[in-house]
Copies of this chain bind each other. A is one copy, B any other.
Amino acid sequence: MIEKEGSMHTVREDLKVLDCTIRDGGLVNNFHFTDEFVKGVYDTCVAAGIDYMEIGKNNSPTLQSPEEFGAWNFCKEEDIRRIVGENNTNLKIAVMSDIGRTVSEELLPASESVVDMVRIATYIHQIPAAIELIEDAHAKGYETTVNIMAISKSSGDELDEVLELLAATPVDVIYIADSFGSFYPEQIKKLSAKYVKVARGAKKPKLVGIHAHNNIQLAFANTIEAMMYGTSFLDVTISGLGRGAGNCAMELMLGFLKNPKYNQIPVLEFIENYIVNLEKELDWGYSIPYMITGQLNEHPRTAMKARDENDTQYVDFYKAHIDQHQ
């Protein structure tokens, strides 16, 4: 029996809304946002009562090219401070570390940074490296999360083993990441129960988070399903901005949450002032190729290509994928 926590009409103090508009949106435009846009997201998050804002990735400029990627792929301290100053607000700042693209020596001690949280994105086969990064970031004074990617492809009890390994680390939050946008609420419910059990049972108890994608129009539904079954950290982006089918929309989440600390109006204001125009330049949201890769539990790389090329030969696309499954 999987227990439900709270109801639609209660406030749960463990809930945290984490904005990743710049970080996940950065995958659409290689992180080439203007300072005005990033400051707009920051001001919106502060005014809307959002708990965390992930402002980008802290990849190393020695490993990825600053010609190819904008500032928010690297999140240099001076760049972040140009936007948030000393960040004397209730909003905490997060950055994401990709295993293999970050250099831990470049991570300042938390006392010298306006960053509060380091989120470590890892595939199952990179777990030992992820644990090193968790320990390093924790030792330097950061809150930490670990986002285990592509779990819909994990086999047997592999995921259980990984969760046990992570439970033994000092990490604060373990994330359910629906990398391929392939999960249904029924599966998310079971995953939440599994993660919550391990996270709460750890020697240092942890919270659980969810990062959903909208390939099969379930990003919001899966996020509230996870929340109902004990997940605390809820990733959102404004208007679902994010690669491909995008993410769980902040405006949907704030319309659902009952905690009066959250405020919908600044979000609508940002959408009106920035997103309406951005939608004319950038392409994200539900589309058939991403739906197909989601339904078939595949990495969306072929969908990325089809969308970039404006290829609407959906039947051929589908048949090519089905053939792989046979």
Contacts and interface: CB of A to CB of B under 8 A. Distances in A.
Contacts of A271: 288, 314
Given A216-B252, A218-B220, A218-B221, A186 B315 contact: no
Interface in A72-87: none
A312 interface: yes
Contacts of A256: 184, 216, 295
Number of copies of this kind of chain in the complex: 2
Interface stretch (A11-19, A96-104, A261-269): A261-269
Nearest to A310: B276
A299 to B, nearest CB: 17
A241 interface: no
A203 to B, nearest CB: 34
Given A271-B288, A315-B268, A318-B264, A255 B8 contact: no
Contacts of A269: 314-315
Interface of A: 7-8, 184-187, 214, 216-221, 224-225, 228, 249, 251-252, 255-256, 264-265, 268-269, 271-272, 276, 285-286, 288, 291-292, 295, 312-315, 318-319
Given A216-B252, A269-B314, A271-B314, 16 more contacts: A7-B186, A8-B184, A184-B256, A185-B185, A185-B221, A216-B220, A217-B252, A218-B220, A221-B221, A255-B291, A256-B295, A268-B314, A268-B315, A271-B288, A272-B315, A276-B312
